[in-house]
Amino acid sequence: MMILKDIKKGVIDMKVEETAELTKKALDEGFKPEHILKEALIPAINIVGDEYERGERFVPEMFLSADSMKGAMEILRPLLVESGIEPAGKVVMGTVKGDLHDIGQNLVCIMLEGAGFEVHNLGVEVPAEHFVEAVEEVGAHLVGMSALLTTTMIHMRKVIEALKRAGLREQVKVMVGGAPVTHDYADKIGADGYAPDASAAVKLAKELMAQLKGESRQKEGKMYQASASTLEYNLRSQIEVQDEKNLLGGLRRPAHYLKSTMRACIIG
């Protein structure tokens, strides 16, 4: 466990190279990547944040600690990600406009990739229109937005509005996260889900994919039903006209047969 303490200290003390070396060593010693992340890296960066809040640390120092954590995460990345053959879904992810914080969202991306999602990471300070373009370009199922500042989280709503304007809101599910974001806030801005950390984000992404599939199946069902009713209506009118004219009286049976066949298709 000593090595985990050293990694934690490495991030806090802004030792970029040393933290990376220690992370490699911990892996060689058999520590699991998730363990290194949860027991050393995340607690360390939280301490850095607390120190900044108390005025004991300045931005450049916060930067160096962040770099130390990012270096370690790059080493862990391939181990956290195992590539699936069929993507579980396509995700467009980014930190919203005006916000430079990307450690958390990178972590969410890594964990989503690990769970078999195809992730398109747009990086930081992403304006609403870039989210929209990316959704269109890759045919995304999910949009993930991250914000770490109370002053930038308002941009999440703007992205949702831009998706609506582009006529894409119905075809994607939107999930949001980041330290100042809450469940209530997600509801307020019309997002589909919120998760407090990377593992919860994976669970949420899977749930949203299931919802999306359910909705598209329902839509397909409604379309079949609509075309079945139209077909039935057309046939009935034809038959009635023909009945009236007393031409093809026997056609009523095939019409019923066709209707029940179509019902069977819809239910099947």
Which residues in this chain contact ligand B12 in the complex, by CB under 6 A?
42, 45-46, 48-49, 52-53, 59, 62-63, 66, 98-105, 107-108, 144-146, 148-150, 175-180, 195, 197-198, 201, 204
Residue 44 phi, psi dihedral angles, 5° rounding: -65, -45
Q: How many residues does the chain have?
A: 268
Structure tokens at 94: 């980014």
10 vs 177 by CB, closer to ligand B12: 177
- The residues that bridge with 96 in the sheet, in sequence order, are 126
Q: Which is nearer to ligand B12, 62 or 228 (CB)?
A: 62
Q: Please, what is the minimum distance in Å from the beta carbon of residue 257 to ligand B12?
A: 51
**Cross-sheet strand order for the sheet of 193-194:** 118-121, 90-95, 142-146, 173-177, 193-194
Given the complex with ligand B12, which of 210 and 265 has the nearer CB atom?
210
Return all residues near 177 (Cβ < 8 A) that are at least 6 apart: 104, 105, 108, 144, 145, 146, 194, 195, 196, 197, 201
Output the CA torsion sign for 83, 4, 195, 122: negative
Least distance from C-beta 214 to ligand B12, angstroms? 20
CA distance 218 to 34: 38
Please, which residue, 62 or 266, has the CB nearer to ligand B12?
62
- Collapse the DSSP code of 27 into the 3-class scheme (helix H, G, I; strand E, B; otherwise coil) and give the result: helix
Q: CA gyration radius for the chain?
A: 26
Cα–Cα dist 131/137, whole Å: 10
Please name the residue that has the structure tokens 């160096």: 64
Report the alpha-carbon distance of residue 16 to residue 11 in Å, rounded.
7
Least separation, in Å, of the C-beta of 113 and ligand B12? 14
Smallest separation, CB 66 to ligand B12 (Å): 4
Q: Which two tokens stand for residue 34?
A: 């998730």
- Minimal distance in Å, beta carbon 109 to ligand B12? 9
CB nearer ligand B12, residue 31 or residue 71: 71
For residue 231, the minimal CB distance to ligand B12 (Å) is: 44
CA 74 to CA 20: how far, in whole Å? 9
Task: Tell me how far, at minimum, the Cβ of 157 lies from ligand B12, in Å.
Answer: 14
Q: Which is nearer to ligand B12, 59 or 264 (CB)?
A: 59
**Which CB atom, from 58 or from 257, has the smaller least distance to ligand B12?**
58
